[in-house]
Amino acid sequence: MKAIVFGGPGDVRVDETRDPELEESTDAIVRVTASAICGFDLRIARGEVPDMLPGTILGHEGVGVIEDLGEDIRNFQIGDRVLLCPTLACGACHQCGRGHYAHCERANPNGAAFGPAMFGGPAASGPFHGLLAEYARVPLAHTTMLHLPEEIGDADGLLLTDAIPTGLFGVRLTRLSPGQSLAVFGCGPIGQQAITCAQRAGAGRIFAIDGMESRLDAARERGAEAIDMEAEDPVQVLRDLTKGAGVDCVINAVPIDALPARFGDPLAASPLTSPAGDTLDSSLLDILERLRPVDEAPFDLAAQAFAWSTAAAATSGTVAVLCFHPGQVRHFPLMAALRKNLTLRLGTCHHRKYLPRLIEKFQRGTWWERSPRHRVPDVLRDQGDGDSFFEQRLFEMSPWD
């Protein structure tokens, strides 16, 4: 089969690889009908993820059709259309029982201490071959897979795999209440979905901070107030717009590969040191490097976003961190956060916790056309009591907090 394979820093290629086979009685083989890349895959391509094994198939967002099943998979049949969770889970351990599926105690063969087991990640996460391939082996398929109704197309299914649940997870991390203000730093796919979810949660004001006009336009269409970090100091703008009070909640959704901004003082971001030294010159790496000035550290904005988030938050506010940040970012403005009594919440989305209810809501409704360029699923549409709908229907979509 053909698959997108990691060969080393700057070396990602389409290769012919061996078709996957059942290895455990709880496995499934899925023919992938659609898959997508994530910012984490870009980080892998650059060689910035430690312990990536050459030959690993990349990708953790995918939908497909079951081709084969292990004998212990009893809730699916061959031919079923399925959505694949980015992280693997057994559904029966203590953490899964709490709804903390990303921290399943049994999924990672290295042990629970090594963190979430995921498709297409480094050795510490399994490793498990990913979903940017024609076929994929799905371990613990009884929990890792979900039925995908025919009413939901592949493109919408891909949105459900990661971006929508992670955006929802971010809003939940902030514990946003109706009427409160929210700032979202980084308006990529996850940031956009966080804005949509916060809008339906009844946020009083939502501020979207990014440096790309297309992303800011999309945020405006979702009802957010756009701040161009390449043209103005976002912290100062937020202070001015809130009369000096700051925002109640902040979501840090800055993508890993983001460019440094022109405003603010990054907090001692360490320069990138590639495992292969300074001699990387493959065509892929050349393309990635052209996305930023070569004399600037690629992770300035990740460190800068921590400083911005802390400075923009109101006293007793909450800062939620969603995205994977590079190990080179080792500084956090702890004293500034301490002086404000800020709450910091971060983590990996428990996709399996939210997806069953989200799929159910998608199946009941259709995509709601808010504008020619913006489609929001019916699950996020205002219904009944606007202040309570989101909390009742989405925040309480499972018995776990």
Nearest to 186 by CA among 254, 259, 266, 258: 254
**Would you state the pLDDT for residue 17?**
96
Q: Tens digit of pLDDT for each residue in 33-56? A: 999 998 888 888 888 788 899 999
Position 268: which residue type?
A: A
Taking the model in full, what pTM does it have?
0.81
Return the exposure string of 4-21: e unless at least 16 CB atoms fall within 10 Å of the residue's CB, then b: bbbeebbbbeeeebeebe
Instruction: Encode pLDDT of 154-178 as tens digits.
Output: 999 999 999 999 999 999 999 999 9
Q: Using only C-alpha atoms, what is the Rg of the chain?
A: 21
Spatial strand order of the sheet with 145-147 comes to 135-138, 28-36, 61-69, 81-84, 145-147
- Structural domains present in the chain: 2-161 (3.90.180.10), 164-346 (3.40.50.720)
Averaged over 329-338, what is the pLDDT? 78
Q: What's the CA gap between 252 and 302, in Å, rounded?
A: 9
| pLDDT at site 57 | 97
Banded pLDDT at 149 (limits 50, 70, 90): very high
Asked whether the predicted pLDDT for residue 396 surpasses 80, the reply is no
For residue 131, which of 59, 191, 184 has the smallest C-alpha distance? 59
Over the stretch 210-243, which tens digit does the pLDDT of each residue have? 999 999 999 999 999 999 998 999 999 999 999 9
Q: What is the mean pLDDT of residues 183-201?
A: 92
